[in-house]
């Protein structure tokens, strides 16, 4: 199966993209807006969307826009700016995502079928010039993030910890950060962030990906010309 974001656009930013297989075998694909903001709210285009397809590229019948004229049936949710991390919650199987805002307004979301997550109509961020974006922070019919970062940390990579090597962290979400060069640990209460702790700030590394290994340890991929794989172990 080959997936292609359509329509084809030029430019070198806001690509997404993460691949996550759901428990039912369907594949989630995250996309960025490719700096074409008007495309994001347009259901005939795939920019700024969370996509769900079968492994062979066909469309699951339960996708929310299958029977809507003018809408792409691959779309699961829309209104996303640039999703840089995605993972399934280990208990619920719900997909969670993290995406870059502009200047402020990075988001943690739990994208539901057919929901509109607002970009660029609503956001907690501002443009890089300092100008406002859209219509404010909320609007009827558009979803609020589970959590947002202002100023932006540039989140990239997301995983849920389920191992036994760090028992106090079991069930926590971990998010890498490119801009603030850290690892964010999020204690959750359902779909609410109760506590955020910022780790590894003294290492000054852009963290691109976060995964839990089969050994129950946490592995990080740094984003640099000589990028490294880092392993986090418990203190003896």
Give yes or no: 14 in active site: yes
Question: Is-contact 104 18, C-beta < 8 A?
Answer: no
Residue (of 114, 52, 40, 53) closest to 80 by Cα position: 40
Rounded distance, CA 206 to CA 213, Å?
A: 20
Burial pattern 64-95, b for ≥16 Cβ within 10 A else e, equals bbeeeeebbbbbbbbbbbbbbbbbbeeeeeeb
> Which residues are paired to 127 by β-bridges?
none
Q: Quick check: helix, strand or coil at residue 203? A: helix
Question: Is-contact 102 141, C-beta < 8 A?
Answer: no
Can you list the positions of beta strands (E) in 110-223? 147-149, 155-160, 173-177, 182-188, 193-199, 207-212, 218-222
| Identified catalytic residue from 14, 80, 100, 147 | 14
List residues with catalytic annotation: 14
């Amino acid at each position: 199966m080959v997936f292609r974001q359509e329509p084809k656009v030029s430019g070198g930013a806001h690509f997404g993209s993460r691949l996550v297989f759901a428990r039912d075998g369907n594949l989630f694909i995250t996309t960025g807006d490719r700096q074409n903001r008007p495309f994001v709210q347009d259901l005939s285009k795939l920019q700024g969307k969370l996509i769900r397809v079968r492994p062979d590229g066909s469309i699951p019948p339960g996708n929310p826009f299958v029977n809507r004229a003018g809408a792409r049936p691959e779309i699961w949710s829309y209104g996303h700016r640039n999703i840089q991390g995605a993972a399934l919650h280990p208990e619920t199987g719900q997909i969670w995502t993290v995406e870059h805002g502009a200047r402020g307004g990075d988001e943690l979301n739990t994208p539901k079928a057919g929901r509109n997550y607002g970009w660029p109509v609503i956001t907690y961020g501002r443009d890089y010039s300092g100008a406002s974006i859209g219509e404010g922070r909320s609007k009827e019919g558009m979803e609020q993030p589970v959590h947002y970062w202002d100023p932006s940390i540039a989140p990239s990579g997301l995983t849920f910890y389920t191992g036994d090597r760090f028992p106090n962290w079991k069930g926590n979400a971990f998010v890498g950060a490119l801009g603030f060069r850290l690892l964010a640990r999020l204690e959750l209460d359902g779909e609410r962030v109760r506590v955020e702790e910022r780790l590894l700030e003294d290492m000054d590394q852009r963290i691109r990906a976060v995964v839990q290994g089969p050994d129950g340890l946490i592995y990080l991929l740094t984003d640099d010309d000589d990028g490294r794989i880092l392993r986090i172990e418990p203190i003896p």
